[in-house]
Amino acid sequence: MVSGHQIRMNRILRKGKMLCIPMDHGISNGPIEGLTDPASIIYKCETRGLTSIIINKGILKTLPNPTKIGVLVHFSSSTSLSMSPNRKMLTGTVEEAVRMGADGVSLHINIGGKEEPEMLEQLGMTAEQCHKWDMPLLAMMYPRGENIKNPHDPEMVGHVARIGAECGADIVKTLYTGDIDSFAKIVKSTPVPIVIAGGPKSKTDLDILQMTEDAMAAGAKGVTYGRNIFAHKKPDKIVEALASIIFKKESAKEAMKKIE
């Protein structure tokens, strides 16, 4: 029998792979470039290969029309104005996500700082509620805090990815280490699908496409890119290019033709 969890995962992913735009930045950074009108970006990209989006509940409530893609509602936030910007606090419940018609829940967890214990508790408790409601949980797992010297250190990335899986996440989003071999080991040691974050806006389109190609070669199940999509001059075109790498196994150089 098909479960609610499977139905929702099928909306978030396509053929087991993910191309997602996280657009939760409005709480942490305000209406930054590309997010003054999130709905326009969503509708522009939803038919170009995108599988899902991550948005805060206020944006979900104000969308003019339902989307054609999966929606994960983001329920952990902090602001750049805070004295503790790495301290993510819960902003909603799984039951609320179900009522809103979301297909999944997203949490941001920073590992390596003094706020870590509180966020681990949030992750564990939210995972329990997600299991109760058959709701997929994506955990954004970042090495970030006073004890982290190099957030791209493969040992650090591997540890935080494993924490997400151990605490009950269905999908783990984390940083790419920068090379295929080290990331492949992390994928192998993490028992749930891994997708990579985009980080700061890339200097060139080829950079972000090449990172995508390499991450997929290492075994990642997709990408969740924010600024590299919504702040792009042609967000629909970069989505098309990314989709060709993720779903058609094209090379980064081949995918570049879709932007040019």
pLDDT digits (tens, 9 = 90+) for 88-136: 999 999 999 999 999 999 999 999 999 999 999 999 999 999 999 999 9
Q: What is the per-residue pLDDT for 260?
A: 87
Q: Is 237 noted as a catalytic residue in this protein?
A: no
What are residue 21's DSSP bridge partners? 53
Would the pLDDT of 71 be above 90? yes
Mean pLDDT of 6-18: 97
Which pLDDT band holds residue 38 (cuts at 50, 70, 90)? very high
Question: In order of start, what are the domains of the chain with their CATH numbers?
Answer: 4-256 (3.20.20.70)
Q: What is the pLDDT of residues 149-166, one digit of tens each?
A: 999 999 999 999 999 999
Q: What is the per-residue pLDDT for 145?
A: 95
Catalytic residue, from 88, 142, 205, 221: name it.
Answer: 142
48 is in an annotated binding site: no
Q: What is the per-residue pLDDT for 169?
A: 98
Q: What is the pLDDT of residues 202-256, one digit of tens each?
A: 889 999 999 999 999 999 999 999 999 999 999 999 999 999 999 999 999 999 9
Catalytic residue, from 24, 170, 205, 236: name it.
Answer: 24
Q: Is 176 noted as a catalytic residue in this protein?
A: no
225 is in an annotated binding site: no
Q: Indicate the pTM of the whole model.
A: 0.97
Q: What is the per-residue pLDDT for 217?
A: 98
143 is in an annotated binding site: yes
Q: What is the per-residue pLDDT for 81?
A: 97
Q: What is the per-residue pLDDT for 29?
A: 96
Q: What is the per-residue pLDDT for 108?
A: 98
Would the pLDDT of 26 be above 80? yes
Which pLDDT band holds residue 172 (cuts at 50, 70, 90)? very high
List the structure tokens of 176: 């790419």
Q: Which residues contact 225 (CB under 8 A, 6 or more apart)?
A: 20, 21, 22, 197, 198, 208, 242
Catalytic residue, from 88, 103, 170, 173: name it.
Answer: 173
Q: Is 225 noted as a catalytic residue in this protein?
A: no
4 is in an annotated binding site: no
Q: What is the per-residue pLDDT for 200?
A: 76
What's the mean pLDDT when you consider all of the chain?
97
52 is in an annotated binding site: no
8 is in an annotated binding site: no
Q: What is the per-residue pLDDT for 64?
A: 96
